[in-house]
Amino acid sequence: MSHELHSLISAACDGRATDEELAELTRRLRDDLEARDEYLRYVDLHSALSDEVLPAHASAVVAYQLGSDRGQNANLSAASKGRFGWYIAIAASVVIVAVIVGFRTVSSPSQIVGRAGDGERAATVPIATLLYSEDCKWQGNALSEGQPLHPGGIHLVSGTAMARFDGGAELVLVGPAAIELLTPASVRLQHGDVVVRASNGAEGFVVATPISEVIDLGTEFAVRVQRTGATEVHVLDGEVSYRGIHAAEQLSKILRAGEGVIIDETGRPRAIPMNSPRFHEFVSSINPQPRSDLLQAYEGFHYSPGNLPLNESTMGRGWNGPWRLRHPRGVWGDLEHASQENLTIVHGEIDVAWPVPGGRLGALKLPPEKLEYERHFRHPIDLDSNSVTFFSLMVQTVAATTDRSSPDRMQLSFAGSPGRQETSVTFGIVGARLPFIRLPSGAKVDSAVRLPTTDIMLWIGKIVTRKNGNDEFCFRAYSAHEQLNFTEPATWQVEGRAASLPALLDRVVLRCDSSRGIIIDELRIGPTWRSVAPISEQSLE
């Protein structure tokens, strides 16, 4: 930091800056990002800002009570006295105004377009993902878990939904509510309730309302907007900045954890008791549950141990016929020892910590050779539509030999034949323990990170198909000690995109090329993460 800038900030903090010095500091903070960073570090914005004592006003509008009285912690801190607080408020408000100006520029109404599913507008870039939807009634196009969300308006008539923005913030929306998705770091809440969690790296998330703007400073907070526009802000952790949206000259104010404020229709703020639960408390209160009832296809290999003739492999759900032995092509070579038309079923050879009966009621043991089995879906995956499909599969390498030098390959493909040439998307792991996806175009995308050595994994993948725009494919392999959340992960180990093709993926293909043999179980295919992921109560954090 330059000596001149240091002197300006020091003079402002000491209350001895002249009007000319304050103007110069304001100019530098407005025009120089590094100067703003230095300023924030120097004066500790989070602890220094306060503008006025807000008159107390009791309210019970935010009805998220979980049985504890939070009102006793709701008194707002007294304002800083003297020119120190005034000067810091002026300078800091410049920083916040700069953020707001940038927000307004990005979120110009002319740039707002519809979400996926709106025909020709679906090709816009998504900015968030719908993670959770329970008992939701939507106005207009219905939204489903796992669906990418594009800029535009969303009206939730009733129910509870949760979204993760590409900027990292997570938002719970409680109906009835109307919200407009603006950017990966901003929304406009027209009316209704939201709870926001902006963890490390997601600071700066903006919730605009008809009369105010709330800017996260690294925190959890709740906002409620009445249909009149009156806005409540409740800070659960950290701090937020807020200001009236129609008063450019109004200084931004800071709310800290345990504080609440209501901004009436005129823009006048009044203190209220903070009465919203923490984000994880709210999630626990809605108690997300697994949704295996939504499964489109399921195979648990619930057969008696021993050799099972293929024509008797008719259990499970969502299938059109039994498993078939498929002769590999190309790199897979010719079958030598797999000519028998059987599946080898074993019991008790998979030991998993996930809350599913993996291996205990039966599992498929693939011998140490090249094999392909396929089974047709009752309802194919249409690559030329707007939909989301998840799958999961337990995979365990048989440790019957100490030879781990030979490469093992296990693949799961969704395949279809639009004509003479087969279209497929493949998820798998090669011997170097690198997850990969082979796209319908034939291109292969490898993970940049090698998996730790482990004999059992849970594969979970996601396919997002679009009628207009690229299809998306995601894949992640979990080891036995990893706990699964009730929502899909923020990052996948492998992600790929490919141009949408007019093809139906009408069958699943299991391919194995192993020197030791592989055991698989619990193949699940469904429309949501919760329909395929074995989540538990511990996954609600």
Q: Are 451 and 494 in contact (CB under 8 A)?
A: no
Q: Which residue did the predictor score with more confidence, 487 or 44?
A: 487
> What pLDDT score was predicted for residue 359?
64
Q: What is the mean pLDDT of residues 47-55?
A: 36
| 336 three-class SS | coil
Percentage of residues in the chain having pLDDT higher than 90? 39
Q: What is the DSSP letter of 337?
A: S
Q: 78: pLDDT confidence band, cut at 50, 70 and 90?
A: very low
State the first-to-last Cα distance of the chain, in angstroms, to the nearest integer: 41
Residue 167 has pLDDT above 80, yes or no: yes
Over residues 461-487, the pLDDT tens digits come to: 999 998 888 899 999 999 877 878 889
C-alpha–C-alpha distance, residues 407 and 397, integer Å: 12
Q: Which of 52-66, 292-306, 472-486 has the lowest mean pLDDT?
A: 52-66
Residue 525 has pLDDT above 90, yes or no: yes
Residue 170 has pLDDT above 50, yes or no: yes
C-alpha–C-alpha distance, residues 221 and 190, integer Å: 17
> What pLDDT score was predicted for residue 388?
94
Q: Which two tokens stand for residue 98?
A: 């700069």
> With the C-alpha atoms ordered 298, 302, 305, 311, is the resulting torsion angle positive or negative?
negative
Half-sphere exposure for 132 (CA within 13 Å, toward CB): 22
Most confident among 48-62, 123-137, 348-362 (mean pLDDT): 123-137
| 221 three-class SS | strand
Cβ of 484: how many Cβ atoms within 10 Å?
A: 20
Question: Which residues make Cβ contacts (< 8 Å) with residue 135, sequence separation at least 6?
Answer: 158, 159, 160
Residue 122 has pLDDT above 70, yes or no: no
Q: Are 157 and 482 in contact (CB under 8 A)?
A: no
Residue 221 has pLDDT above 90, yes or no: yes
**Average pLDDT, whole number, for the chain?**
76
Greatest Cα pair distance, the chain, in angstroms, is 92
Q: Are 387 and 469 in contact (CB under 8 A)?
A: no
Written as one string, the DSSP assignment of 476-528 is EEEETTPPPPSS--SS-SEEEEE---S-EEEEEEEEEE-SS-EEEEEEEEESS
Question: Which residues make Cβ contacts (< 8 Å) with residue 199, sequence separation at least 6?
Answer: 168, 169, 170
Q: What is the DSSP letter of 198?
A: -
| 83 three-class SS | helix
Asked whether the bond before 55 is cis by omega within 30 degrees of 0, the reply is no
C-alpha–C-alpha distance, residues 222 and 247, integer Å: 23
Cβ of 171: how many Cβ atoms within 10 Å?
A: 24
| 23 three-class SS | helix
Question: Which residues make Cβ contacts (< 8 Å) with residue 457, sequence separation at least 6?
Answer: 394, 395, 396, 429, 451, 477, 478, 479, 480
> What pLDDT score was predicted for residue 328?
52
Identity of the amino acid at 403: D
C-alpha–C-alpha distance, residues 245 and 210, integer Å: 7
> What pLDDT score was predicted for residue 455?
72
C-alpha–C-alpha distance, residues 105 and 415, integer Å: 45
Over residues 427-467, the pLDDT tens digits come to: 999 866 889 999 998 899 999 888 877 678 899 999 999 88
* Pairing status of strand 206-208 against strand 186-197: parallel
Residue 194 has pLDDT above 90, yes or no: yes
Residue 233 has pLDDT above 50, yes or no: yes
C-alpha–C-alpha distance, residues 415 and 394, integer Å: 20
Over residues 323-344, the pLDDT tens digits come to: 998 765 433 334 444 445 789 9
Q: 316: pLDDT confidence band, cut at 50, 70 and 90?
A: very high
Q: Are 21 and 10 in contact (CB under 8 A)?
A: no
Written as one string, the DSSP assignment of 283-315 is HHHH-----GGG-SEEE---S-SEEEEGGG---
Q: Distances in Å between the alpha carbon of 52 and those of 55, 81, 89, 176, 212?
A: 9, 9, 11, 33, 17
Identify the residue whose tokens are 């109560």. Answer: 537
| 48 three-class SS | helix
